[in-house]
Structure 1
Amino acid sequence: MAERSALGRGYDIGRLRLEPAPGSRLADPFDPDRPPKPPDDPAAAILMDHPYKFRGSKRWGKDGYADSIEPIGWETALAPDDKGVVKLDQNKAVEVALLNSREYQTALENVYLTALGLTLNRFEFDLRWFGRNATTYTHTGNSSLPTESNRLASTTDVGFERNLAAGGQLLVDFANSVTYEYTGGAVGGVRSNLLLSLTQPLLRNFGRQVRLEGLTQAERDVLYAVRDFARFRKQFYVSVATQSGGYLSLLLATQTLRNSQANLKRQEETYRLYNELFRGGRASVVELDQFYQSLQAARQDVIDTRTSLENAKDQFKLTLGLPPRLPIDLDDSPLDQFILVDPALERLREQLEEFQRVRLRELDAPPSLDVLRKAFADLRELAGGGPAAVRSAAADLDAFGRQLDRPERPGDDPEQRDRDRATYTSLKTALTEAGDDLAKFTRRIEKDSTAVTEATRKEGWEAVVQDAKFLLTALDGVITVQTQSRIYRIELPEIDILEEPAMAFAKANRLDLQNRRAQTTDAWRKVTVTANALRGGVNVVGTANLVTDADHDKPFNFAGEASSYSVGLQFDAPLNRLAERNAYRASLVTYQRSKREFVALSDQVELQIRQDLRELARLRPSFSIARQQVLSAARQYENTRLTLLGPGGRKGPNDATSLQLLQALSTLLAQRNALAANFIQFEQRRLQLLLDLEELQLDDRGFPTNAQPRPPARSGDRDGRGTPSPGLPAAPAPRPLAPRGPVVP
């Protein structure tokens, strides 16, 4: 296998050791030549102990008994935490799969078995020595002469056979016979003969192209197996790390669950708010029922999404070679960019909304002076978080601005860049205004709190309710700026690959296409080989049999008068060749099929590249559209909330606000899911493109060395193999495993 993996680019197959590494679930801790008896099925064990009417062997347990088929304690190699949970990031998941995957181990064993068959084909043309001995003691007759005989005979053969590349066969056999007769006095004799035989076909089975066909095919089959496994390693990495059912798919399911949970949280908040509005006569029972039904639907969505995620995790464990019962915890840090609001700001808004709901419960009766003063104190404390909220939003807005300062890249839409700059300018203005409002409302809260007295309780109560609305409105403005800034900061990697050079690159480097091209040549060779079988048989046969002198007991005293020599021709007329005729005709058909299969695979490669590029081209604007839709849905939700909670909110029962809010919540959930799905799908398709181009390269561990985009090649660039480079990733030095990695390594 090492010979074949060194033949060309991309044939590396990683570890050549067949046995799984210690710590693998597949490892065998016992002596492979003398393994202990594994646990047996109780019913089948009876048939092993008593097959039919016989007593079974008692030696089956001579090497001991194993308590389990899989090694005990293999889980410790996964380094679980004190609760038994295995922490997985993308790199760790691939590492675990390479260590424990049954499919990966089977694929490696298939390469080994193919190489094992080659050793037999090679041995066929090696010098094959043999050495045999037969020693026999024979007694005949009774105790008296001359009928009694007691003879000891020992015959030894030593020699070798050799198949020649042109179809000949050579045999050299030295035979020595020693006899000893005990009866009637010791009488013995030694005889030897040296046989040399050579058979050389001249027509049928003649020539290297025929005789070496089996060896040639076996050599090439090992190369094909190495290529197949090299490609399997890449497909295995992609399937574990990114594709459907892989790590990225789990992250998408996780983000979908997050979005559903966020939607449920908003639904619960809105339902509580409508409860208070209903009690105050500002919402009808129909509206309350609508939000209750929407809340229940959101709860069901969370349940369904969580169940789907857990099912996907269990299926992923099987891909890694782990039992579904083993708890895992995914590193979801790559999803941090989809957290659109700083958790601290989210908590501050929740506290303000809860403060406002408490005020709504007070209905038309102003609270006591102590309660009112406590309310102002709480509101002042909440207002104190305003500057930190502005700083948090400003940091994200500045990062968005730095994106806009980058040089224009190929494929950028100038009109979209202008719109983004206009958005940035308006967000900067909005943040300044929201910051000023927060400062102004903080001062107003301080002023209103000092003015409250027993005589002004009603005015103070109205002031605290109004101040809370103003403060919440200003905070919503800050959150809106941060949300939009973070949405704009989510970007897809740049890929600029031209179709024509990409196809040329793939056709020159795809391992499966190389195999198919070579197999077409295999089918072509078989036409000549099967045609040779139709010929008549003409063999030249020569033998020399040198025998020792019968009058001397000297094993190497060959006598010319006792030796014989022969040479001749053997002829087999081609009168019965129906089976060979059929094989020949079948080889012609197989060759034509093989050519069609190569063309079909070549077309399939073109189709894959075109689909990859077309899908990437589709996903990029789809991502931009999804981003704009999330922005629109977020603005719609925030504006509808302001109608309910803002300082000018005057909602009456049965107006359109409730329906608008329900639609906004539903749209926001759908668009946040679409944005995450577009991002993940782009990453999956991008890595699939590298795989389809055969540009994805792995190190000895099975991790990619070139999965990051690079600038496209200039016109006329070559990649060193005479193939136009389509602007593919460069290969940086392998990186060690990191506990928290990016979405793709």
Structure 2
Amino acid sequence: MLLKPSFRALHPALLGVIVLALVAAAGCKRTDYRRRADRDVDGILQEKTAGTLWQTPPGNHVYPDPRSRFYDPTATDCPSLPNPTPILNPYPIPPLATGDPLEPPPNIDLVSGERKPDDELPGGDSPESIETPEGLQEAIDPPLLESLAPEGVDSLQIVPIPESAWEPLPESCLNRMFEFTSIQAEYERSFGHPAPQGSKDIPRVTLENIMELALINSRAYQTRKEALYTTALRLTGERYQYDLNPRPFNNGSAANYQNFRSGGATIDTLGIPTSVGVQKSLSTGGQFLASFANDVVLTFNGPQGFTADIGSALLFDFQQTIFQTDIQLEPLTQQERDVVYAARDLIRFRRGLFRDLSAQYYNLLLSYRSIEIGTQDYFSNQRAFLQGRAEYTEAGRLPRVQVDQFEQNALRSRSELVASCNNMETSLDRLKLAIGVPPEMPFNLRLTELEALSTTDQLTVAQQLVRRTQAELQTQHQTSRVAPIALLNAAAVLTERLLDIEKLASPEGKPRSALTEVASRLAVLEARNQADVKRAVLDEETFAEDKRQSQLRPQAGDSPEATALDSPLRAYLRTVDVIESLLVLSYRSLEAEAMQQSPNAPQGPLGADPRRDQLKRFAKEFAAVNSKMDSAVENRELGKIRGIKDEATVLLGKAEQLATESTTWLISGDRQAFLGTVEATVAEVIQLSEEVISQSDSALPKVDVEEEEAMMTALVQRLDLMNRRAELADSRRAVKLAADDLRSIMDLRATHILRTRDDANTPFDFSLNDSETRLSLALDTPLNRRNQRNVYRLALIDYNRTLRNLIESEDTVKLDIRQDLRQLRLRRDQYEIAIASAALAYERVVSTRMQLQFAIKDVVARDFLEAQQAYTAALSSVARQHIAYILDRIELFYDMEGIQLDSTGFWVGLEDDSLQPPVNLDFRGTNPFPYGHLVPGLRYSKEILSTE
């Protein structure tokens, strides 16, 4: 009869043990715990960053991107160790949202940066497709044919670079050189076949691709994301303490079996203690604890036989500190603020990553540009050496020391070229390391932006050349003593440079019809002036010959052959010169007239014109007379020379008639009318150049922001300064907490315990008759606070140090802004100087080369070498200053917190030169809580509340 009540009493306790055992055996899967942590962290980040200046980008979770090198495809909660066998280049570039690096670049206009439709691509005839007018090729001698070639055909033969000059260059350097079409053309000129091209499978990336790859693979960026996640994860633990939650331990049951002997008897007992409890941190800094404890002791063979002793207790415990409340609230307070700090640091790091990778990218573009410039410098010095060696060997015009100087300069330029290639490869590997891809991975930059920058620089240099040439032409134009040929030559050079600008600036790559018209008219006027000069020489020599023949008789001893060959042959040669110049004049005039009548028609062969057929017939007739004279001289048929000379005189009249008929539309009247036409044409060229100059701006875009506004904007918007101000509040709060430790420690504690009745032997039959209430007040007087005193003093020092650091940070930001603006102004000035220097160096190279070729006195090889080096240095300086300006502009926006990145980490404002830094002077609107938030709902002291 006693056993039944005992088992009935045991039933609830045993049931609880069974339930706890099942819960303990099942538990939660590790995946569930991970996902819960992710949900809690995502909620905190959304709460702390949504709608703020430091809002984290979408998809900024802590998991590596599936396209990343360090993405683990195995189970997240039970990862497998990777294969430890080292391999090279295990990572191909994945598909990117910013474009496929294996696709060819789009058709981008190099000046505007906009994509061009296929029907707007540069077209027109290439120099090889421009035909020589039919009939003139076989009727006119090659020198004359060159002078009659249509405008745009290069009549100067470019000396190919010998194969021996290519062989010493390393293959890796050649591969980089062949990135440029100008160097490919040099190679084809040297070897007669196209330059070898690298594999099409090698990716060509842009800055957008680089940034996206960095966000995927950057180890430093992944560490920053994990730091933010870790900070938010710690906050989830602190927040959980302020919810009513089970205790982390001592929630469970046990089974304790005991066997012992007492008085010769064996006693077996089984104890089953069970406990469960909940706890909560209070907003006042106190702690609340509630626990249930059950103890079941079963005695199987005691003196009274089988017995059961069951007892339970409910405990309610409340603890509250009196003077150290803020200390108890501090862990949650600091963790709440740390999440905001980490989010700001992450956004600031992303922008800094863009700045740093942009610097590496643009410096790499500069390295590519230096390779192109260095290659052209090497080729130029190589050609100078070949020409100098030929002049030394064949003609003896140059001393050996000057030839050695040419060779030495060629070796120097080759050495610098190879060094530039090597430096570029090293910089490229460092960029790969920075974005997290293997350094051995094949990797190229897409040079579309470099081509755009180079085109802009070339256009600016061309504009500067126009300014210089226009100034010189205006000076000559205002001087009455300048010969017409000098005016025409200067106007022709100016027109040619204006055409260069139009070809660079026009999206279609075609010059404007007005400039082409003027160029064709100048060519006609130059030909007319040349014909007049040669005609004057012929008339003067004819008059002098007639006078000499009338005054002198042949002297004894003069051979009849010499007398017969003297004046008629000389007169014939002068006549031929005049006829050739008149042919050039006629052809150019017909071409210019046709262009004027159809200004939009492409420049090329003349259309159907009867005068064209007449000119062709005359050219054949003239060629026949030339052939007769060559035969007469070769066969010593001296008697025919005078007759052939007379035929040439007749042809001269026809040539003059043809020239008159073909130039009537432009030149009519006497020499004075011709000079008037020259005057009007030169004035028109000057007017056109002024229009081009007025529409061009050689300077880089100006950053239009006041220094004080820029500094204040940075102080308002900088995320790192927001953290520094909040950290100052943390230091101030630490002073209060250290001061609390100096006070007495007074804790209030209230405990109430409910127990079950001793005679009931049930686990849940609680009675107030078996309860206990305890109230305690503990006081610890501050008799020894030496260590706390030291901590307090250090907290005061730390606060002052943090205040100084904040002031220093603000001053550093202002210094950076001032330096950025100063550097931008300097870069614009240096760029203009570099442009002027490049234009001057170009003219210096051209003039020095011509003077050296014509053996002008006091001009030696060293002069040309110095001019060439100055030109190379000037071109490098132009590119360097331009890229430095771009990087300084990025730095200014970064320092003003004006860079807004898209989801791939790219700043679209980089492509907008007109974009100005945003000015924001609203400090309170941007920083409504400049010292950060305290946790709402917690009962802080007034002193702590004052630090918010």
TM-score scaled by structure 2?
0.58
Q: Which residue of 2 aligns with 1:186?
A: 306
Aligned to 1:589, the other structure's residue is in SS state: helix
Q: Residues 746 and 777 of structure 2 are in contact (CA less than 8 Å); yes or no, is this contact kept in structure 1?
A: yes
Q: Does 1:231 align with 2:345?
A: no
Distance 1:437 1:216, change over 3 A: farther
Aligned to 2:265, the other structure's residue is in SS state: coil
Alignment-mate amino acid for residue 532 of structure 1:
D
C-alpha displacement of 1:669: 0.4
Aligned to 2:283, the other structure's residue is in SS state: coil
Q: Residues 315 and 324 of structure 1 are in contact (CA less than 8 Å); yes or no, is this contact kept in structure 2?
A: yes
Q: Does 1:497 align with 2:705?
A: yes
C-alpha displacement of 1:315: 1.0
Q: Does 1:171 align with 2:374?
A: no
Q: Does 1:138 align with 2:258?
A: yes
Q: Given the alignment, which residue of 895, 900, 907 partners 1:692?
A: 895
Q: Which residue of 2 aligns with 1:338?
A: 454
Aligned to 1:628, the other structure's residue is in SS state: helix
Larger mean Cα displacement after TM superposition, 120-129 or 165-174: 120-129
Rounded Cα–Cα distance in structure 2 between residues aligned with 1:681 and 1:643: 36
Q: Residues 394 and 431 of structure 1 are in contact (CA less than 8 Å); yes or no, is this contact kept in structure 2?
A: no
Equivalent residues in 2 for 1:437-586, closer than 5 Å: 443=584, 453=627, 456=630, 492-586=700-794
Q: Which residue of 2 aligns with 1:296?
A: 411
Distance 1:225 1:504, change over 3 A: same
Q: Which residue of 2 aligns with 1:731?
A: none
Equivalent residues in 2 for 1:224-263, closer than 5 Å: 224-241=341-358, 243=359, 246-263=360-377
TM-score scaled by structure 1?
0.73
Distance 1:327 1:527, change over 3 A: same
Q: Which residue of 1 aligns with 2:806?
A: 598
Rounded Cα–Cα distance in structure 1 between residues aligned with 2:515 and 2:756: 112
Q: Residues 26 and 71 of structure 1 are in contact (CA less than 8 Å); yes or no, is this contact kept in structure 2?
A: no
Q: Which residue of 1 aligns with 2:79?
A: 35
Q: Does 1:156 align with 2:274?
A: yes
Rounded Cα–Cα distance in structure 2 between residues aligned with 1:113 and 1:656: 73
Q: Given the alignment, which residue of 369, 372, 382 partners 1:268?
A: 382
Higher helix share: 2
Q: Given the alignment, which residue of 394, 397, 401 partners 2:499?
A: 394
C-alpha displacement of 1:176: 1.2
Distance 1:570 1:576, change over 3 A: same
Rounded Cα–Cα distance in structure 1 between residues aligned with 2:435 and 2:633: 66
Identity within the alignment, %:
30
Q: Which residue of 2 aligns with 1:277?
A: 391
Distance 1:622 1:438, change over 3 A: farther
Distance 1:678 1:71, change over 3 A: closer
Q: Residues 165 and 211 of structure 1 are in contact (CA less than 8 Å); yes or no, is this contact kept in structure 2?
A: no
Q: Given the alignment, which residue of 104, 107, 117 partners 2:234?
A: 117
Rounded Cα–Cα distance in structure 1 between residues aligned with 2:101 and 2:900: 30
Alignment-mate amino acid for residue 396 of structure 1:
I
Q: Does 1:23 align with 2:231?
A: no
Distance 1:635 1:710, change over 3 A: closer
Q: Residues 896 and 917 of structure 2 are in contact (CA less than 8 Å); yes or no, is this contact kept in structure 1?
A: no
Aligned to 1:196, the other structure's residue is in SS state: strand
Rounded Cα–Cα distance in structure 2 between residues aligned with 1:87 and 1:197: 69
C-alpha displacement of 1:72: 5.5
Aligned to 1:141, the other structure's residue is in SS state: strand
Equivalent residues in 2 for 1:602-613, closer than 5 Å: 602-613=810-821
Q: Residues 91 and 437 of structure 2 are in contact (CA less than 8 Å); yes or no, is this contact kept in structure 1?
A: no
Q: Which residue of 1 aligns with 2:907?
A: 704
C-alpha displacement of 1:253: 1.0
Q: Which residue of 1 aligns with 2:205?
A: 88
Alignment-mate amino acid for residue 65 of structure 2:
A
Q: Residues 716 and 922 of structure 2 are in contact (CA less than 8 Å); yes or no, is this contact kept in structure 1?
A: no
C-alpha displacement of 1:93: 1.4
C-alpha displacement of 1:341: 7.7
C-alpha displacement of 1:335: 2.4
C-alpha displacement of 1:305: 1.1
**C-alpha distance after superposition, 1:549-581 (max 9, x if no partner):** 111122222233332112121111111211111
Larger mean Cα displacement after TM superposition, 434-443 or 112-121: 434-443
Alignment-mate amino acid for residue 312 of structure 1:
S
Q: Which residue of 2 aligns with 1:416?
A: none
Q: Residues 194 and 547 of structure 1 are in contact (CA less than 8 Å); yes or no, is this contact kept in structure 2?
A: yes
Rounded Cα–Cα distance in structure 2 between residues aligned with 1:261 and 1:438: 38
Alignment-mate amino acid for residue 133 of structure 1:
S
**C-alpha distance after superposition, 1:573-600 (max 9, x if no partner):** 1112111111111100001111100000
Alignment-mate amino acid for residue 704 of structure 1:
W
Q: Given the alignment, which residue of 836, 851, 855 partners 1:643?
A: 851
How many residue pairs get aligned? The number is 595
Distance 1:697 1:75, change over 3 A: closer
Alignment-mate amino acid for residue 675 of structure 1:
V
**C-alpha distance after superposition, 1:344-403 (max 9, x if no partner):** xxxxxxxxxxxxxxxxxxxxxxxxxxxxxxxxxxxxxxxxxxx9xx9996262377799x
Equivalent residues in 2 for 1:704-723, closer than 5 Å: 704-707=907-910, 708-710=912-914
Distance 1:524 1:432, change over 3 A: farther
Q: Residues 852 and 859 of structure 2 are in contact (CA less than 8 Å); yes or no, is this contact kept in structure 1?
A: no
**C-alpha distance after superposition, 1:237-284 (max 9, x if no partner):** 11112x2xx110100111111111111111112222222322223222
Distance 1:3 1:172, change over 3 A: same
Which has the higher Rg, Structure 1 or Structure 2? 2
Aligned to 1:156, the other structure's residue is in SS state: strand
Equivalent residues in 2 for 1:400-411, closer than 5 Å: none
Distance 1:210 1:235, change over 3 A: same
Q: Residues 258 and 269 of structure 2 are in contact (CA less than 8 Å); yes or no, is this contact kept in structure 1?
A: yes
Rounded Cα–Cα distance in structure 1 between residues aligned with 2:922 and 2:740: 43
